Amino acid sequence: MNIISLRLAEYLITNYGMYMNDIEKEAIDHIRTTRLMDLAGKHFSYDDRNVLRQKGLLSTKPVVLELANLGQDNLMRRIGARIINDHTEEIRFDFCPDCGRLLPALGAKCETCIPQEGFVEDLLFSN
């Protein structure tokens, strides 16, 4: 599997996340939950963690924990690479017509080319 950029991985997961398998989804949820727990800065009791496990936000499955141990960025790159390898025919890339940059989501406006003045008005009142 080829290594892909984090930006491409984010694009693929945002737009084609339906191709993630259950283990990949669990690993992403596990990483995000543990990050939020760390940010909360409080001790989570066994009961708290058990509730998160029951909701599917934390896992004890070895295969999920193995993926989660890769870290969020590496896991996203791995998932993105698998999606692009397994679903090449279904994937469409959306590039900015002005600068050629990969857009963050299908149909999104380019962050680089959006004029700064009138930006809010353009987003609110454009057809």
List the pLDDT tens digit at each of the 127 positions of the chain: 568 899 899 999 999 999 999 999 999 999 999 888 888 877 788 888 888 888 888 999 999 999 999 999 999 999 999 999 999 999 998 888 888 888 887 778 888 886 654 544 454 544 4
Question: Coil, helix or strand for 72?
Answer: helix
Residue 3: the pLDDT is 80
Residue 95: φ, ψ to 5°: -110, 150
Task: Report the alpha-carbon distance of residue 59 to residue 82 in Å, rounded.
Answer: 22
Residue 82: the pLDDT is 95
Residue 2: the pLDDT is 61
R_g of the chain computed on alpha carbons: 18
Tell me the torsion sign for CA atoms 63, 86, 6, 12: negative
Residue with tokens 């993105």: 80
How far, in whole angstroms, is CA 67 from its chain's centroid? 14
